[in-house]
A and B are shown apart, each in its own frame.
Chain A
């Protein structure tokens, strides 16, 4: 317990350092001012959430084809960690939006698909809690997880396919888009730190799922005797 808290504290100091760089190294955006600094944690948490949901999708496919328990453990771990990252994205977004748009939230395509993504992975976890039989739980949640991942490209492309209140893409957005090199570096640094956090959380959550499976096995053994 103490060791894990120390590890978490070290990583949080690292993230705090990258945030400090984002504040002091990256320039202040001309039209929005200091509020644009939320961009670094907002976008990096979305990238990390997509990466976690990608891992979940891969694990779900692997479970459907191989029925390996480890694939099920990876799937649920990635879904829960991804949900944490997308929650950060959904909370930081309105804090940024309010002074800029004058409203906390609007039902445009990007925001709606992101909220649906959050609901889908929350449903994935709820579905698992409702099925007791381990093989059935793993199969049903893997199939649901494959379906849930279909929303990830919709979130990503929504600002390219529809006119939205949410800003148009500044990354890979084509002509007229782009970032100051120092903003790019600050974003990449933040994303790197959050990827470290993603790996740490995924690793811990995967071990937790392994322990849960051991408890289930031991309980079944105790019932048989």
Chain B
């Protein structure tokens, strides 16, 4: 079928963009959660001294 490869390329590109963005948000969220825990632990250590 003529142009079927272009149609598939368009759909794949769209899904890839959404998927990469979602993974990037999840990874940034994981890193920030770790940072919150680290800072909380640091502050708790500081106040117990």
- Point out residues on A near B: beta carbons under 8 Å: 1, 4-5, 8, 12, 15-16, 19, 33-35, 37-38, 41-42, 45, 81, 84, 87-88, 91-92, 95-96, 98-99, 197, 200-201, 204-205, 207-208, 211-212, 214-215, 218-219, 221-222, 225
A-B contact count (CB 8 A): 104
Q: Are B26 and A5 in contact (CB under 8 A)?
A: yes
Shortest distance between the CB of B17 and any CB in chain A (Å): 5
Contact status of A91 and B3, CB under 8 A, knowing A211-B29, A212-B32, A215-B35: no
Residues of A within 8 A of B47 (CB): 225
Q: Are B7 and A34 in contact (CB under 8 A)?
A: yes
Q: How far is the CA of A100 from the CA of B38 in the complex (A)?
A: 55
Q: Are A1 and B30 in contact (CB under 8 A)?
A: yes
Q: How far is the CA of A221 from the CA of B43 in the complex (A)?
A: 8
Contact status of A99 and B15, CB under 8 A, knowing A204-B22, A204-B26, A211-B32: no
Contact status of A215 and B22, CB under 8 A, knowing A12-B15, A225-B46: no
Q: Are A95 and B32 in contact (CB under 8 A)?
A: no
Chain B residues 8 to 31 lying within 8 A of chain A, measured CB to CB, are: 9-11, 13-15, 17-19, 21-23, 25-26, 28-30
| Chain B residue with the shortest CB-CB distance to A22 | B11
Q: Contact partner of B43 among A8, A16, A204, A218, CB < 8 A? A: A218
Q: Are B18 and A42 in contact (CB under 8 A)?
A: no
Q: How large is the interface on B (under 10, 10 to 19, 20 to 34, 35 or more residues)?
A: 20 to 34
- Point out residues on B near A: beta carbons under 8 Å: 1-4, 6-7, 9-11, 13-15, 17-19, 21-23, 25-26, 28-30, 32-33, 35-36, 39-40, 42-43, 46-47
Residues of B within 8 A of A35 (CB): 2-3, 6-7
Contact status of A41 and B14, CB under 8 A, knowing A5-B26, A208-B25, A215-B36: yes
| A-B contact list, 11 entries, CB within 8 Å | A35-B6, A81-B21, A88-B17, A91-B13, A91-B17, A96-B10, A201-B25, A207-B29, A211-B36, A212-B32, A215-B36
Q: Are B40 and A218 in contact (CB under 8 A)?
A: yes
Q: Are B10 and A95 in contact (CB under 8 A)?
A: yes
For the complex of A and B, list the 10 residue pairs with the smallest distance between their C-beta atoms, beginning with the closest. Answer: A218-B39, A211-B32, A35-B3, A95-B10, A92-B10, A88-B14, A38-B10, A84-B21, A4-B26, A8-B22
